[in-house]
Structure 1
Amino acid sequence: MSGTRFAVVRNDEAQYSVWAEGRELPAGWHATGFSGTREECLAHIESEWTDLRPLSLRQTMAGA
């Protein structure tokens, strides 16, 4: 997979993943606009995804 470029994607629960560029995204996932090597994408996710709880859980806990 050398030379393969990846995109950072996020779902409706604000969870991140790496997806090969040019492939159709699965339902519920959206491109974030960041792309690069797998390592660059993983580093970006690490800096962005600081709360691993799903969005719905965070919202529920904030209302409690």
Structure 2
Amino acid sequence: MSRVAPRTRVVVNHEEQYSVWPADRQPPAGWEPVGPEGTEDECLDWIERTWTDLRPLSLRRAMAAAEPPAAP
């Protein structure tokens, strides 16, 4: 008997951090569905292609604010 892989979905939080979550369950508080629904491997592949900057959004914003202005 072959097992069917459970369906997962990609979720994202307010810091633009991604994860996978069972497709038949509501994501935890603070996480929203985004991207594909499919096998875990399909979802992880999408995350790998999409989430190219692993720094949390708040850190990226703080670092951008701390950059000196560009020279004219």
Q: Shared topology, TM-score over 0.5?
A: yes
Please tell me the root mean square deviation across aligned C-alpha atoms, in Å.
Answer: 1.2
After TM superposition, give the deviation of residue 33 of structure 1 in Å: 3.8
Task: Please identify the structure whose Cα radius of gyration is greater.
Answer: 2
Q: Which 5+ residue runs of structure 2 have no aligned equivalent?
A: 67-72
User: C-alpha deviations, 1:18-63, integer Å up to 9, x for none?
Assistant: 0010101111000004111000000000000000000000000000
In the alignment, which residue of structure 1 is the partner of 2:70?
none
Structure 1 vs Structure 2: percent identity of aligned residues? 56
Using structure 2 for the length normalisation, give the TM-score. 0.83
Letter in 2 for 1:11: N
Using structure 1 for the length normalisation, give the TM-score. 0.93
Q: Which structure has the higher relative contact order (CA within 8 Å, separation 6+)?
A: 1
